Each structure stands twice: as C-alpha cells, then as structure tokens.
C-alpha cells in the first residue's frame, strides 16, 4: 500500500466503515437471536413460517460477519483498491425511478412519504452506481431526521447537475453541518465521530471522482430547502 496521505486517509475510512458494518451486523444478529430464543415451543412465533426464515437470517448474518472479518484480514495485504469509475450518459428521471424502487419498502414501512422531482428529459454524464449509492445513503440518513417526508429533486443548476435530498425534520445538528462544510472545503472529515460523517466522506469521494474540464463535484449539507428540514446537496459537473 502506498504511503501518500490520501491513501492513509482512505485506509482509516475503510477500517471505520468496516467497524460500522460490524456494529450493524451485531445489532441484527443480536436482535434475531433474542427473538428466536425468547420463543418457547408451542408459542405463536415458533410455529409460524417466519421462524425458519428468521433462523436463515441469523445464519446469513453470521456469514456476513465472517466474510467481513476475512476481508479485513486480506485488505492489509492487497493494499488500496481503486474504484473502477464508469461514467456514462444517464437519464436523470430514470435514476430517480431507480432510487425510488430501491427504497420503497423501507420508506413505506416507516410511514415516510417519498417524492421524486426530476427535470424531464435531462441527461447527465455520471457513474450511476456510485451516485445511486450516495443518494441511498443520504435518504437512509434522512429517515433518521425527517418527520414524515423526504424529497429527492434533480435538476440543472449553474451548469452542474444538482441532486438534493430534503426532509421535513428539525434539520441537521450543528456538528454535522460543520462536518458538511469541512467536506465541502475538502478538509479532513472526522468520520470516526459518527456514521453520518462516514456517509459524508464517501459522498465527497464520489463527488471528487466526477470531473469535467477542471471542475469537480461537491457535497454540502444545509438546513431549510423545500421541506424546511435537512438538505443533502450533491453537485456534479
């Protein structure tokens, strides 16, 4: 692994991501274990069809955990992986459709109204998988802050593609806004502090990968916007 400061930063980021993932996995497997264990034979859950499915879920979670452990062990030898950037022309409305399709179940389960506003016919050169990844993360984050609405809007603004994820909650706490501002100025983000910072780091990396004639993409956080809550703003050249 090369010793440039950026590579080191990336390594710390990956280690932090892995840590965050392990936390999530622990929570999931812990919850499943509790549910499965509490239910004595003869009770409703034990006899329902959900029981074996939950058992399968627990098994998969364990696998995930083992694989992650292996990945981390291997990572140190393989070194810094570079992401194969794959820019192509994408229909912005279709991108919105894809994001909506990916989050429908989750948002409906939490009774959150999701709205997509995309400039019709607008096409942009971008890595769709990466951008969808960033937007999904922002939506996930917004589900924590919103009251009951999230809005994804995409359109052209000052020659850039502007993608906004907005909610109607109380807005981002000051610490997070500060982290967003730091990311916007390409300063080091303290993503060890919380998982939202983690997502912000990833989003900033993705934005930076998108360049056109000397201009790179940017990320910023603000409060207000169309729904009066927190806004995540990704701009791509």
Q: Which residues in this chain contact another protein in the complex, by CB under 8 A?
A: 56, 60, 82-91, 94, 97-98, 100-102, 104-105, 113-116, 121, 123, 125, 129, 212
Choose between 26 and 60: whose C-beta lies nearer to another protein: 60
Alpha helices in the chain (DSSP H): 5-38, 44-47, 50-78, 92-109, 128-145, 174-184, 195-209
Please say which residue, 65 or 194, places its beta carbon nearer to another protein: 65
Q: What angle do CA 10, 193, 167 make, to 5 degrees?
A: 100
Number of H helices, E strands in the chain: 7, 9
Q: How many other C-beta atoms are found inside a 10 Å radius of the C-beta of residue 125? A: 13
Give whichever of 14 and 182 is closer to another protein, judged by the CB atom: 14
Q: Minimum distance between the CB of residue 43 and another protein, rounded to whole angstroms? A: 26
Q: At 160, list the tokens.
A: 């850039």
CB of 67 to another protein, least distance (A): 10
Minimum CB separation of residue 188 from another protein in Å reads 26
How far is the C-alpha of 191 from the C-alpha of 16, rounded, in Å? 8
Q: Which is closer to another protein, CB of 41 or CB of 49? A: 49
CB of 20 to another protein, least distance (A): 17
């Amino acid at each position: 692994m090369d010793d440039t400061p950026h590579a080191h930063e990336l390594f710390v980021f990956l280690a932090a991501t892995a840590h965050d993932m392990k936390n999530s996995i622990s929570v999931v497997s812990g919850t499943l274990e509790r549910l499965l264990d509490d239910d004595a034979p003869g009770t409703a859950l034990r006899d329902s069809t959900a029981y074996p499915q939950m058992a399968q879920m627990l098994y998969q979670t364990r696998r995930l955990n083992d694989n992650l452990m292996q990945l981390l062990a291997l990572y140190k030898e393989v070194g810094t992986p570079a992401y194969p950037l794959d820019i192509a022309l994408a229909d912005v409305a279709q991108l919105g459709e894809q994001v909506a399709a990916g989050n429908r179940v989750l948002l409906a389960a939490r009774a959150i109204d999701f709205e997509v506003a995309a400039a019709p016919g607008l096409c942009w050169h971008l890595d769709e998988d990466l951008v969808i990844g960033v937007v999904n993360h922002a939506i996930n984050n917004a589900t924590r802050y919103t009251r009951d609405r999230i809005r994804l809007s995409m359109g052209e603004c000052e020659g850039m593609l502007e993608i906004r994820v907005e909610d109607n909650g109380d807005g981002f706490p000051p610490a997070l806004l500060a982290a967003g501002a730091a990311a916007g100025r390409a300063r080091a983000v303290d993503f060890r502090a919380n998982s939202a910072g983690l997502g912000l780091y990833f989003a900033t990396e993705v934005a930076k990968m998108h360049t056109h004639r000397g201009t790179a993409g940017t990320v910023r956080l603000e409060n207000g916007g169309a729904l009066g809550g927190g806004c995540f703003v990704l701009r791509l050249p």
